[in-house]
Structure formats: C-alpha cells, structure tokens
C-alpha cells in the first residue's frame, strides 16, 4: 500500500486531473472517443440527463418547477452534463478539483448565464455560495476518488447545502473487487450496499433507493432528512 498524506492525495487529484485536462479533457471526461466534436460531446451530456434526471423528475423536483430550482453538481468536468442541466433547471452550480477542467467548463457555459462553475479543494463545498439547493447530482466522479473519507465529506457537505427533503442522486463504484490505491486517482474506492447505507445514516440522509449494487454504476438516492 503506497504511503500518502491526505493533503498529498488532494494535491495529486488536482495535478492528475489538470494533466488529463491538458492532454485531452473531453476524452478523460467521457472515454467513448478521443476526438469528440462539440455536438456529440454535449449530446452525450443531454443523454445522461435524459437517462438519470428527466425520467426521475418526481423524486428530483418534488412538485417544484424545474425553472425555480437551484442545482449542485459535484465534479462538473468540462461542463458536459452541467450544460444539459442548465437547460432544465433555473440555476446550476458545479465544482471540480481541476482548474483546467473548470476552465473548459466555463467556456462550454459561456452562453448559459444561469450556470456557475468553481474550482474547489477536492473535498468540500466551501467555494459554493452558502445558499439552499433543491437537488444535487454527481456522475462518474466518486468512482475516481481513492478516499472513502473524501467521498463521505462530500456527502456531508451536500447535506449541509440541500433543503430538507431534497435529493442527492449520485453514482459510486459498486464493484467491491476493485482495488483502489491511495495514490491512484483513476480507480476510486468501491462501496457495498451496506457501506453506502451506513454512510447515508451517518451524514443525515435517508438512503431511499439504490440501483446497480456490485457494478461500476452503483446509483444512490439519498434524501436529506
Ligand atoms: C470522468 S470526469 C466526469 C465529469 C462530469 N461529471 C461528466 O460526467 O461529464 C471526472 C471529474 O471528476 C473530477 N474530480 C476528481 N476528483 C475530484 C474531487 N476530489 N473533487 C472534485 N472533483 C473531482 C475530475 O477533475 C473530473 O473533471
């Protein structure tokens, strides 16, 4: 097991993702191709939103109108999903540990005045305005984080910012055979159903639904108590 302090690990997440963003941001965000066109890249974000959000509006909106909702995205990358979210919801705020990714996202969102992106420290949401959010989302981000503590800290931070009853829908690595190393910022720590459920309870959430346990795309629906 490689030795690395929590601060070194955060630094490594930032450096590695900045490096990936410089090399080919869109490929590392969505590895389907190394040569994304603008059209296809953003269409893939729209597809994710259609598959994860538009078909789940009852849980997400809870009778609020989407245009009046403020949404938070953890790990916005190059703005692929953020852009699609900004077409649906009133206000979208995204954070990412990589300043290079955030630079790409800001360019992608130039014509979306209701979308805001911030570089954060890789573990909390102190850069985000301390206002109440109606929904939080994260996809293909925690599967890359090699620290259970960092992921749980994000869950706690999202709980701090959500209004009571609101949903945090997110994906983690569910294949517990994955061997994550503390200095590997590509293969994140896996969660079993039990680990996910216990984390929800510790962080003040009701873990109401889950889908894909045991698989890479393990989706969790945590409702703020
Ligand atoms: C595979 S990309 C996905 C981006 C976006 N969610 C999407 O689907 O288009 C993973 C993103 O997570 C970000 N990331 C990795 N570790 C992070 C951390 N500890 N805190 C915040 N963002 C992180 C990376 O910089 C990268 O932009």
**Residue closest to 210 by CA, chosen among 154, 170, 155, 159:** 170
- The H or E element that residue 217 is part of is none
Q: How confident is the model at residue 145 (pLDDT cuts 50, 70, 90)?
A: very high
For residue 14, the CA-to-ligand 1 centroid distance in Å is: 10
For residue 74, report the distance from its CA to the centre of ligand 1, in Å.
7
Predicted pLDDT of residue 2? 62
Predicted local distance difference test score (pLDDT) of residue 203 = 98
Contact in structure between 128 and 72 (CB atoms under 8 Å): yes
Instruction: Evaluate if residue 118 carries a pLDDT over 70.
Output: yes
Rounded-to-integer distance, Cα 172 and Cα 143, Å: 5
Distances (CA, A) of 23 to 10, 44, 49, 213: 20, 20, 26, 33
pLDDT at residue 175, rounded to an integer: 98
- In angstroms, the CA 76 to CA 26 distance is 12
- Mean pLDDT confidence for 22-50: 96
Q: Which pLDDT band holds residue 141 (cuts at 50, 70, 90)?
A: very high
**Segment holding 202, helix H or strand E:** helix 193-202
Most informative mutation of 9, 77, 79 for ligand 1 (most atoms within 8 A of CB): 77
Give 93's DSSP letter: E
Give the orientation angle of helix 6-29 with respect to helix 99-108, to 10 degrees: 40
Nearest CA owner, ligand 1 atom 13:
75
Q: Is the pLDDT of residue 223 over 90?
A: yes
Closest CA to ligand 1's atom 15: 141
Which of 10, 74, 144 is the pocket-test mutation for ligand 1 (most atoms within 8 Å of CB)?
144
Cα dihedral 212→136→18→109 (10° resolution): 120
Q: What percent of the chain has pLDDT over 70?
A: 99
Distance CA 220, CA 196 (A): 8
Question: Which residues does 85 contact at the CB level (< 8 Å), separation at least 6?
Answer: 49, 53, 71, 73, 92, 115, 137
Per the document, the length of the chain is 225
The residues lining ligand 1, judged by C-beta closer than 6 Å to any ligand atom, are 13, 17, 29-30, 75-77, 80-81, 96-98, 101, 122, 139-141, 144-145, 150
In this structure, the residue with its CA closest to atom 2 of ligand 1 is 29
- What is the residue with the minimal CA distance to atom 18 of ligand 1? 122
The two tokens of residue 224 are 């703020």
- pLDDT in the model for residue 54: 98
Q: Is 74 in contact with 118 (CB distance < 8 Å)?
A: no
Q: Please, which residues have CB within 8 angstroms of residue 140's CB and are 6 or more apart in sequence?
A: 30, 75, 171
Q: Reply yes or no on whether the pLDDT at 1 is more than 90.
A: no
HEC string of 103-117? HHHHHHCCCCCCEEE
């Amino acid at each position: 097991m490689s030795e690395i302090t929590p601060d070194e690990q955060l630094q490594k997440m930032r450096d590695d993702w900045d490096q990936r963003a410089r090399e080919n941001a869109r490929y590392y965000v969505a590895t389907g191709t190394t040569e994304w066109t603008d059209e296809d890249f953003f269409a893939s974000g729209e597809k994710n939103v259609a598959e994860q959000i538009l078909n789940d509006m009852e849980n997400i909106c809870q009778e609020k109108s989407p245009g009046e909702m403020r949404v938070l995205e953890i790990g916005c990358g190059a703005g692929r999903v953020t852009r699609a979210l900004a077409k649906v919801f009133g206000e979208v705020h995204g954070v990412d540990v990589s300043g290079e990714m955030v630079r790409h996202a800001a360019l992608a969102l130039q014509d979306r005045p209701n979308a805001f992106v911030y570089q954060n420290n890789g573990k909390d949401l102190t850069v985000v305005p301390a206002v109440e959010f109606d929904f939080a989302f994260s996809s293909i981000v925690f599967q890359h984080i090699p620290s259970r503590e960092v992921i749980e800290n994000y869950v706690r931070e999202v709980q701090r910012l959500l209004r009571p009853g609101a949903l945090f829908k997110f994906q983690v690595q569910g294949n517990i055979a994955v061997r994550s190393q503390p200095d590997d910022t590509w293969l994140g720590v896996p969660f079993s159903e039990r680990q996910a459920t216990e984390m929800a309870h510790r962080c003040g959430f009701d873990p109401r639904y889950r889908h894909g346990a045991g698989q890479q795309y393990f989706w969790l629906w945590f409702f703020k108590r």
